[in-house]
Amino acid sequence: MQIANYRAPLYEPTVDELETLKKLEMGEEVSLWSAAREHVSRRLLERGLVEQDVNKQWHITAKGRELIRRAL
């Protein structure tokens, strides 16, 4: 029996997640390793706000940019 992952109907990013998205928007490199060290949730990847390339570098998506604009 497989248990489905629960997702809350409303997603509210943490301050750390918003800061990471802003860094990516400004062109700063954020690797999965540095994000994990900074205690940033993998929710950014799970929600499609960032994507990861073969070098494990994160890149902000259009959906992530939209979230930043709404938060400002």
5-56 residue pLDDT tens = 666 667 778 887 888 888 888 888 776 666 665 556 677 888 898 888 888 7
Strands (E), 1-72: 50-52, 58-60
pTM for the model:
0.58
Res. 70 pLDDT band, cuts 50 70 90 = confident
Measured distance CA(28)–CA(47) in Å, rounded: 20
Distance of alpha carbon 13 from the chain centroid: 9
| Domains of the chain with bracketed CATH | 15-71 (1.10.10.10)
Q: What is the pLDDT of residue 30?
A: 73
Q: What is the pLDDT of residue 24?
A: 84
Please give the average per-residue pLDDT across 58-71, as a whole number: 86
